[in-house]
């Protein structure tokens, strides 16, 4: 099966709740490798560009404010079916709908502050990984 890379973000609520380690541990337990990682404060411009597909949605301004309210952890996860598996591990967008044991069920505070982001397709993953990481910042497996 094909190895994929996907972008994961630990959102400000999960960082401020000290759940970085719990979330990364879960990805590793599920067999996803962390291929790149950095902690940043997103600028308003960077957050707006990241969520550009949602710019007409009523929640866009609030989402950008939330994503710039504190540090986030940006990660490239790698593994078989990494894009879909990350989405499964995260659970539904709204934590009220997320299954038991998913990261959003465990660590989300609300629909907006839902702990994690994951690319929703291979095409998005390519765009999102290169939006935040230089090719040379993404490690190879040896």
Report the catalytic residues: 117
Task: State which H helix or E strand residue 33 sits in.
Answer: strand 33-40
Q: Give the CB-nearest residue to ligand ATP.
A: 93
Q: Residue 25 or 55: which CB sits closer to Mg ion?
A: 55
- In angstroms, the CA 130 to CA 36 distance is 12
**Cβ distance 11 to 115 under 8 Å?**
yes
Q: Which residues bind ligand ATP (CB under 6 A)?
A: 54, 59, 63, 93, 111-112, 114, 117-118, 120
- In angstroms, the CA 9 to CA 21 distance is 13
Using CB distances below 5 to 8 A depending on partner kind, what does residue 118 bind out of Mg ion, ligand ATP, none?
A: ligand ATP
- In angstroms, the CA 29 to CA 46 distance is 31
Contacts (CB under 5 A) with Mg ion, residues 103-142: 120
Q: Residue 120 or 126: which CB sits closer to Mg ion?
A: 120
- Kindly list the residues in this chain that would bind Mg ion in the complex (CB under 5 A): 120
């Amino acid at each position: 099966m094909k190895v994929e890379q996907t972008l994961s973000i630990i959102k400000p609520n999960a960082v401020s709740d000290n759940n970085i380690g719990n979330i990364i541990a879960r990805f590793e337990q599920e067999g996803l490798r962390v291929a790149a990682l950095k902690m940043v404060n997103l600028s308003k411009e960077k957050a707006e560009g990241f969520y550009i597909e949602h710019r007409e949605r009523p929640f866009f301004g609030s989402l950008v404010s939330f994503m710039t309210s504190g540090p986030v952890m940006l990660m490239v996860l790698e593994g078989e079916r990494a894009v879909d598996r990350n989405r499964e591990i995260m659970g539904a967008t709204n934590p009220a709908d997320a299954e038991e044991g998913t990261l959003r069920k465990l660590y989300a505070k609300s629909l907006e502050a839902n702990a994690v982001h994951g690319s929703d397709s291979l095409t998005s993953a390519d765009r999102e990984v290169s939006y935040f990481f230089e090719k040379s910042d993404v490690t190879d497996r040896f």
